[in-house]
Amino acid sequence: MSGKDVLDTAQKQLKEVVQKLDIDEGLYKILAAPKRQLKVNFPIVFDNGEVEVFEGYRVQHNTSRGPTKGGIRFHPDVDMEETTALAMWMTWKCAVANIPYGGAKGSVKVNPKRLSKREVEKVTRRFTNEISILFGEREDIPAPDVGTNAQVMAWIMDTASMQKGHTVPGIVTGKPLILGGSEGRVEATGRGVIVTAEEGAKIHNMSLHGAKVVVQGFGNVGSVAARLAQDNGATVVGVSDARGGIYNPKGLDVHELYYKYSGRDGGIRNYKEAEQVSNEELLELDCDILIPAALSSQITHKNADKIKARMIVEGANGPTTPDADKILNDKGVLVVPDILANSGGVVVSYFEWVQDLAHFFWEENEVNNKLARIMRASFASVVEMMHEKDCSMREAALMIGVQRVTQATVLRGIFP
């Protein structure tokens, strides 16, 4: 999907929800328009002395519920349209979780894997400088996304601090613990996925305990979700990474996979007590719960009909295309949508920000308990809306998000 297609999907979703909620045309225009879009071009001197100019974007979609929040992506395929769509989804995600943020997203058209560490640092610091007119701990707070990590967040924090003349930890989240990061942030998204899987299972009269689970992607989100699923009594029968998947109907030991195989030569495919499957086959394995936690557009009209899971919990952003959604809905497969299921990351980012502003840090238990409470409350409000409007969970989650942002906009009024 091109960036334009992604933005079309986001706009179409909004239009449909606005019609269902009977929101008037004027308010729709406000919700559909990103508040600020900044495009920058900036040069970097490579280690070999050559100069390259990079293109970067920052989009703040909506500020009616608070400062904007959203990750920074380093990837060669990003563009303004995709960044805008992702910022819009962040607005609804924060509203569904009921945390006081609007949505934002940033990106640089670059493949970080082809750069040295020093070059990635230069791209990060120069990009931070170029878009510093938007960033601020009370204005716009970035976080990691595809291609960026805690080290990149540390450079952003340092660059912003150099500009201010004092340390501003609250300007970015997903930082290393030692620089004001939060306990529990690394595991937060996977943990939230499992909380929503537990809640979703109840709707289908199942339990996570004893359920057969398949996880696509064994990175931050997937590996945590798989390990917590196993800890909660589920049998994880299949997992995969970019190289392919493995399957054992009797169950895999995902802790062993994580500590002994993942990230090493050969990766998880070296695990002996399993048969190898392709990523396409993995999605169609016999299981109760499927957790896509890798890329977008994995479940499409081509494979939706072959999915055997009774429930899909979207760890990744946008893993299910709109036409696949329809097929799954007709089959009675419950899809717990991304803006609900993977919101654990932004919820603990919110906790990190609160701790940074207060300079007072919480214990991991406190973080995990507060996260679970927010995830369960969001889940309950989405289920209530789903029953009230007799719609899918995705539509219900979008309705909650859009409704909360609309209410905030109406209460604030339109300046001047």
Which residues have a catalytic role annotated?
A: 105
What binding mask, one character per residue, do residues 253-292 give for ligand NAD by CB under 6 A, x or -?
--------------------------x-------------
- For residue 66, give Cα distances in angstroms to 38, 99, 198, 208, 416: 19, 9, 30, 35, 19
- Rounded to whole angstroms, the Cα distance separating 204 from 220 reads 27
Interface pick for ligand NAD out of 170, 181, 345, 401 (rule CB under 6 A):
345
Applying CB under 6 A, which of residues 128, 148, 159, 216 lies at the interface with ligand NAD?
Answer: 216
* Contact by Cβ (8 Å): 192, 161: no
- Within 165-219, residue ranges assigned H as helices are 185-203
Q: Which residues partner with 68 through β-bridges?
A: 102, 140
Q: Rounded to the nearest whole angstrom, what is the least distance from the CB of residue 62 to ligand NAD in the complex?
A: 19
**Do residues 212 and 234 make contact, with C-beta atoms less than 8 angstroms apart?**
yes
> Which of 60, 63, 317, 368 is the binder for ligand NAD (CB under 6 A)?
317
Whether 145 and 219 have beta carbons less than 8 Å apart is answered as no
Mark the segment that binds ligand NAD (CB under 6 A) among 97-105, 214-222, 247-255, 400-408.
Answer: 214-222
CA distance 80 to 342: 23
CB of 133: closest distance to ligand NAD in angstroms? 26
- Is residue 310 within 8 Å of 289, Cβ to Cβ? yes
The sign of the CA dihedral 355, 314, 124, 63 is: negative
The 115-154 site mask, x for binding ligand NAD (CB under 6 A), equals -------------------------------x--------
Give the Cα separation of 299 and 314 in Å (integer).
11
CB of 26 to ligand NAD, least distance (A): 32
316 binds ligand NAD (CB under 6 A): yes
Nearest in space to 402 (alpha carbons), one of 124, 40, 21? 21
Quick one: residue 210, left, alpha or beta (phi over 0 = left, psi -120 to 50 = alpha)?
left
357 near ligand NAD (CB under 6 A): no
For ligand NAD, which residue of 107, 182, 189, 321 counts as binding (CB under 6 A)?
189
| E-state strands within 160-234 | 212-216
**Closer residue to ligand NAD in complex, CB, 18/104:** 104
Q: Is residue 81 close enough to count as binding ligand NAD by CB under 6 A?
A: no
Which lies closer to ligand NAD via its Cβ, residue 317 or residue 406?
317
Q: Which residue(s) pair with 366 in the sheet?
A: none
Q: Which amino acid is at 89?
A: W
221 binds ligand NAD (CB under 6 A): yes
Q: How far is the CB of 345 from ligand NAD (least distance, A)?
A: 3
Residues touching ligand NAD: how many (CB under 6 A)? 21
Per rule CB under 6 A, is residue 410 in the interface with ligand NAD? no
Question: Is the CB of 44 or the CB of 382 nearer to ligand NAD?
Answer: 382
Judged by CB under 6 A, the residue of 159, 235, 342, 355 near ligand NAD is: 342
Cα–Cα–Cα angle for 307, 312, 313, nearest 5°? Answer: 155
- The single residue among 82, 119, 241, 325 that binds ligand NAD, judged by CB under 6 A, is 241
* Residues lying near ligand NAD in the complex (CB under 6 A): 146, 189, 216-222, 240-242, 279, 293-295, 315-317, 342, 345
